[in-house]
Structure 1
Amino acid sequence: MNEEQFLNMLDEKGIGFIITVPVPLGYQQVLLKKDQVLEYLADKYSVLAKCYGVSRSEYVTWLDQDMSVQCCATTVKGKRCKNVITGGLHVSVEQWVKSQGLLCDLHEEKGK
């Protein structure tokens, strides 16, 4: 029996494929379709990104930035500002994507 046949047998018996994924301030369970299981085992970030309707790189960066939106300004030392924007702490990946390009209070004030 190959992997696909095994997954089909489990699915036919009513066995679901549930994974636990990080979300702001906790975890959430996501039900994978049987055809997503092997893909998830090969590259979980691609599957999760598809579940949320974002790109793989957006999903991974969201996780790397602790699910928070960082300011898009450049510091006087030429590095990206890492301050979190107002309302950008521990947000959903969808909100994180929508909020890209916003400034923190410090850089917003300087721009006025």
Structure 2
Amino acid sequence: MTIDIKYLQQMEAVGVGFTVHVRIPGGGRTLFLNADEVSQYLADKDGFAACQFGLTRQEYAEWVETDGFVRCAGTTTSRTRCKNYVSGGSHYEPEKWKRLQGEYCAVHGGPASHEA
């Protein structure tokens, strides 16, 4: 699909807006695009959304898939990654979700839910 950026810019100049709906934990969010961003979005929807949230494509997919929960970085006695989540909540915004990566659940030394 060829996008005529000049046409989009003309549309934008007279007040036409461009919005897209992207996935986030718990639902979706509307992003407002400028004319130059339309072709970027159409070329790679998830990559564009990831960039808007300050995440890599892989981080964005995990953030959405885990519903914003942060998975424990601990290892079980069977040497697999713990399936528990870090205490404190869900639907974290991307910045906090990313910052909490590598933290532990209460079983593996992280804070208990009443402490988080």
Alignment TM-score, normalising by the size of structure 2: 0.79
**Per-residue Cα deviation, 1:21-58 (whole angstroms, up to 9, x for no partner):** 33444433211121111111111122122222222222
Within 5 Å, give how 1:13-92 maps onto structure 2: 13-92=14-93
Q: Which amino acid aligns with 2:101?
A: Q
Q: Which ranges in structure 2 are unaligned for 5 or more consecutive residues?
A: 111-116
Q: Aligned pairs, how many?
A: 109
Residue 107 of structure 1 corresponds to which residue in structure 2? 108
- Percent pairwise identity: 36
Residue 114 of structure 2 corresponds to which residue in structure 1? none
Using the alignment, how far apart are the partners of 1:48 and 1:70 within structure 2?
Answer: 22
Post-superposition shift, 1:2? 4.9
Q: Which ranges in structure 1 are unaligned for 5 or more consecutive residues?
A: none
After superposing on structure 2, the runs of 4+ consecutive aligned residues of structure 1 that deviate more than 6 Å are none
Q: Which amino acid aligns with 2:74?
A: A
Instruction: Flag the structure with higher helix content.
Output: 1
**Per-residue Cα deviation, 1:69-105 (whole angstroms, up to 9, x for no partner):** 0001112222211211111422111111000000011
CA contact (8 A) 1:70 1:88 kept: no
Q: RMSD of the TM alignment (CA)?
A: 2.1
